[in-house]
Amino acid sequence: MEYRRLGKSGLQVSVLSFGSWVSFSKQINDKVADELMGIAYDNGINFFDNAEIYALGESEKMMGRILKKKKWDRTSFIVSSKAFWGWRGKNNKPNQTGCSRKHLVEACNEALQRLQVDYLDLYFCHRPDKKTPIEETVWAMNHLLQQGKILYWGTSEWSGVEIMEAHRVAQQYRLIGPTMEQPQYNLFERDKMENEYLEIFKNVGLGTTIWSPLAAGLLSGKYNDGIPKDSRFALEGFDWLKERWVMDDKIRKVKKLSELAARTGVSTASLSIAWCIKNQHVSTAILGATKKAQLLDNLKAIEVAEKLTPELMEKIESIMKTKPTLPDF
């Protein structure tokens, strides 16, 4: 396993990590989750990602039960939570969502209980909160840092402007700014990582825990000939995900990518993940496998990344044609 520093921090995070979005409680039970987390840990993965909204809190409870059962040395792994959406669904009241001091503090305490840990290694603002001043959010996160309830704080799907504003506030009051961002990044979604965040990487440093490296499974090739019944696109309530990704143009590109992967002697999934981690601005790519075979194949991405020569990268680019156009100045 390869380990990379999380931005400018000294925290070493495995370049592949394991997440629970969609899968925990919805697609897999405790037994399967236990097996998958065990395989991940035994293969060097040290970061396990979660959030209050995942399965409305049930995902964190499931991961908490497994962590307690595993009895791993707490210093050997990294666990996260994210706050913004709340976990009560339609029953959320006004202060049970967002990035206000009240919600961030209370959501942190609830996550600690569900995950059955004393502190969160990483704690994210799951989305920017247009109703709360960024100054309040920065102060709230530093309050939690000083209490020892979180070790690093970050953002998810924030704009470059919002991230830099958080750093400006932190600098003004001599506080700690966001260490990491969790953006979507894959062969279809590239603008933030390859354009918008470039100046942040260069000027203040930013770790990234990218999500959906397989574009919700599309880049695994599993949807090339239709939607399998046991896939996340077939889940009730996830029609929006299917509508976003299952488009003829994207399917055609994935089919060509699958042909290239076959000629290279690797799977489409491992090739797609390897392409993501080839970008050195990626601290870790979060895997969402629901089966042992899927996870073991995803883990091969580290070996596949070594095969990604400039020539092969160019072949991938010629198929996808998704590289952002950067400004001339």
What CATH number has the domain bearing residue 79? Answer: 3.20.20.100
319 part of a folded domain: no
| Overall domain count for the chain | 1
Tell me which residue has tokens 């704690």. 123
| Amino acid 192: pLDDT | 97
| Amino acid 164: pLDDT | 97
What H or E segment, with its residue span, contains residue 150? Answer: strand 150-155
149 part of a folded domain: yes
In this prediction, the residues of the chain whose per-residue pLDDT falls under 50 are none
| Amino acid 226: pLDDT | 66
The three-state secondary structure class of 180 is strand
Distance separating alpha carbons of residues 271 and 261, to the nearest angstrom:
7
Find all residues with CB under 8 Å of 260, minimum gap 6, and list them. 271, 315, 316, 319
| Amino acid 261: pLDDT | 97
| Amino acid 240: pLDDT | 55
Distance of CA 63 to the CA centre of its chain: 16
153 part of a folded domain: yes
Distance separating alpha carbons of residues 188 and 323, to the nearest angstrom:
9
249 part of a folded domain: no
- CB of 208 closer than 8 Å to CB of 281: yes
Distance separating alpha carbons of residues 85 and 79, to the nearest angstrom:
19
| Amino acid 224: pLDDT | 81
Residue numbers annotated as active site: 54
| Amino acid 134: pLDDT | 97
220 part of a folded domain: no
328 part of a folded domain: no
Supply the range of the domain harboring residue 83: 3-215+270-302
111 part of a folded domain: yes
Q: pLDDT tens for residues 175-230?
A: 999 999 999 999 999 999 999 999 999 999 999 999 999 998 899 988 887 666 66
Tell me the pTM. Answer: 0.91
| Amino acid 91: pLDDT | 94
